[in-house]
Amino acid sequence: MDSDSDKVIGSFLGMAVGDAMGRAVNGLKPEAIRQIFGEIEDYKDVRNIIGKGIKRYRMQGLYGAPTQCALAVCDGVLTNKKKFLDETVLNFQNLSQGGAENYFGVFRSSEGCLWKAVDLLTDRPQPTPQSSTTALFVFLSIPMALFQKKWSKTLAGQCLELGSTFSCHPLEVVATVLNGFLVTRFLNLEEGELIPKRKEILQEAVEVCLQAETEYQTRINVFEDESILKSKNAFSHTLGELIPLIEKPEKEVLQWIVNNAASYSKREIRHASQGFVLSLLPLALFWMLSRESEYFLTSIFEQGRETEKLGALVGAWEGAYQGVQSIPENLKTGLVNGREIRLRGEALFQRRIKKGAKTLSDMEMALTTKEAEEAKRYQPKEIKKLLKPITIDYWEEDEDQVPSKEDRIQWRKFQKEKTKAKRDRRKNLPDDIE
434 part of a folded domain: no
Tell me the C-alpha distance between 231 and 79, whole Å. 35
Q: Are residues 340 and 411 in the same domain?
A: no
Q: Are residues 312 and 414 in the same domain?
A: no
Q: Are residues 283 and 422 in the same domain?
A: no
Question: What does the pLDDT average to over 287-307?
Answer: 88
Distances (CA, A) of 258 to 31, 140, 240, 324: 19, 25, 16, 33
Question: What does the pLDDT average to over 275-301?
Answer: 90
| pLDDT range class, residue 29, cuts 50, 70, 90 | very high
Q: Are residues 306 and 204 in the same domain?
A: yes
Q: Are residues 355 and 406 in the same domain?
A: no
Q: Are residues 123 and 147 in the same domain?
A: yes
Give the residue, 410 or 193, on which the prediction is more confident. Answer: 193
Residue 422 reports pLDDT greater than 60: no
Distances (CA, A) of 166 to 138, 173, 280, 323: 10, 9, 18, 30
Residue 144 reports pLDDT greater than 70: yes
Question: What does the pLDDT average to over 271-282?
Answer: 98
Q: Are residues 416 and 359 in the same domain?
A: no
Helix, strand, coil distribution of the chain in percent, nearest 5: 60, 0, 35
Residue 411 reports pLDDT greater than 70: no
258 part of a folded domain: yes
390 part of a folded domain: no
pTM of the model: 0.87
Question: What does the pLDDT average to over 381-388?
Answer: 48
| Residue 180 belongs to domain spanning | 3-385
Question: What does the pLDDT average to over 149-166?
Answer: 97
pLDDT score recorded for residue 223: 56
83 part of a folded domain: yes
Give the residue, 189 or 355, on which the prediction is more confident. Answer: 189
| pLDDT range class, residue 61, cuts 50, 70, 90 | very high
What is the number of domains present in the chain? 2
Tell me the C-alpha distance between 28 and 50, whole Å. 12
349 part of a folded domain: yes
Residue 406 reports pLDDT greater than 80: no
Q: Are residues 332 and 422 in the same domain?
A: no
pLDDT score recorded for residue 30: 96
Distances (CA, A) of 337 to 69, 108, 180, 360, 384: 15, 14, 24, 12, 29
433 part of a folded domain: no
User: For the chain, what percent of residues have pLDDT higher than 70?
Assistant: 84
- Burial class from Cβ neighbours inside 10 Å (0-12, 13-18, 19+) for residue 220 reads middle
54-68, 92-106, 407-421: range with lowest mean pLDDT: 407-421
Question: What does the pLDDT average to over 363-387?
Answer: 80
| pLDDT range class, residue 399, cuts 50, 70, 90 | very low
Q: Kindly report the average pLDDT of the chain as a whole number.
A: 88
| pLDDT range class, residue 167, cuts 50, 70, 90 | very high
pLDDT score recorded for residue 32: 93
33-37, 252-256, 337-341: range with lowest mean pLDDT: 33-37
Tell me the C-alpha distance between 31 and 51, whole Å. 17
Tell me the C-alpha distance between 95 and 107, whole Å. 7
The single-letter code of the amino acid at 147 is: F
Positive/negative CA dihedral, 19, 180, 168, 81: negative
CB 277 within 8 A of CB 133: yes
The single-letter code of the amino acid at 426 is: R
Element (H, E) at 89: helix 84-95
| pLDDT range class, residue 266, cuts 50, 70, 90 | confident
| pLDDT range class, residue 416, cuts 50, 70, 90 | low
Tell me the C-alpha distance between 414 and 129, whole Å. 24
Question: What does the pLDDT average to over 45-73?
Answer: 92
Q: Are residues 252 and 312 in the same domain?
A: yes
104-113, 133-142, 226-235, 361-370: range with lowest mean pLDDT: 226-235
pLDDT score recorded for residue 218: 85
336 part of a folded domain: yes
Q: Are residues 360 and 410 in the same domain?
A: no
The domain spanning residue 324 has which CATH number? 1.10.4080.10
Question: What does the pLDDT average to over 301-326?
Answer: 96
Q: Are residues 268 and 411 in the same domain?
A: no
